[in-house]
Amino acid sequence: MVLTGPPPSMNTQTQCQTMASTERQFDVSKLGSHGESRTEDVVAVELPLSILISSLDDSKSMGITMRTPGRDRELALGFLYSEGLINRISEVSEIKASSDSIEVICSNVDRVILNDYNRISTITSSCGICGKDSISSMLHIHGPKLNRGPQISMKTIESSVKNLRKNQPLFNSTGGSHASAIASINGDIIHLEEDVGRHNALDKLVGYLFSNDQLPANDVFLIVSGRASFELVHKAIRAGFTIMIAVGAPSSLAVEMAREHGLTLVGFAKRESLTIYSSPSRVSTN
């Protein structure tokens, strides 16, 4: 795979100021019991990224996603893999990237799935299924059959959630980002990605695994910092995860899809308590 695109030193001064960090400071007013005060507040950066997929004879825009800059290659690869458009890193021949667009050039693209897309011009950071032409294409998963996967304990889950919170620099600075991470069976964080969009954070994580030829991810488990939506469960199953831990609540469709495919879905993972919504046999109380 060839990665192309200008290095940061070739950006304009304005682009460097915008892209130099995932955070930005603003002058703000704070009101409280002691009155009004002027101070500075740090917020997570959100900027548009145009994603295109190309083959030898065609190119198609997948729309514009609103994301936290950085890890754009992983974001694009994870998104395209999660949607079933590409299946192996060997299918990617070149990636052309700039500050606001990225083109993934592939030797092979699933045309049937690609034709299901009719992308709107802008996809918000909270949108995971924008552009699908039909409900059937939205619900169909082009992924591996889940294997038995690891066995983990409540103590491991508690430890992994605690470790997740310790390893979220963007959230710790801004309070405005989501995180997705892979953890070992001991609860150690192996790799973590952050973004203003929870779907983007997981796409970046899947893209990291995909580009390193580490899919399906069947010997580790997934942790997400927020709720377990249908879209996140869909991406988790496509990547081959057998266990998904969410700090927040799941949706009804997320539970139904997890049960259908045999994914162990855990929600409300907090200190000394959790709720298992599907396939509980992978979690022990020891």
Residues tagged active-site? 127
**Nearest C-alpha neighbor of 264 from the set 229, 233, 235:** 233
3-state SS of 213-229? CCCCCCCCEEEECCCEC
Rounded CA gap, 233 and 281, in Å? 18
230: three-class secondary structure by DSSP: helix
Q: How many CB atoms lie within 10 A of CB 179?
A: 25
Strands 92-97 and 2-4: parallel
Six token digits for residue 169:
């620099």
Strands 59-67 and 23-32: unpaired
**Nearest C-alpha neighbor of 54 from the set 92, 84, 9, 15:** 92
Q: Is the peptide bond before 216 cis (omega within 30 degrees of 0)?
A: yes
